[in-house]
Amino acid sequence: MDTSSIILCGANSYEQKYYFNEKFAKIPDSIKEDLHIICVLFTEEVGGAFMIGFDDDGSVMLITDADEGDLLYDEIGAGLLVKELRKRRVELFESLELFYRSFILKENVKENEDAAGS
pLDDT tens for the chain, residues 1 to 118: 444 689 999 999 999 999 999 999 999 999 999 999 999 999 999 999 999 999 999 999 999 999 999 999 999 999 999 999 999 999 999 999 999 999 999 888 775 555 555 4
DSSP 8-state secondary structure symbol assigned to residue 71: T
Spatial distance between the Cα atoms of 79 and 46, rounded to a whole number of angstroms: 10
Q: How far is CA 89 from the centre of its chain?
A: 11
- Spatial neighbors of 40 by CB under 8 A, at least 6 apart, are 11, 18
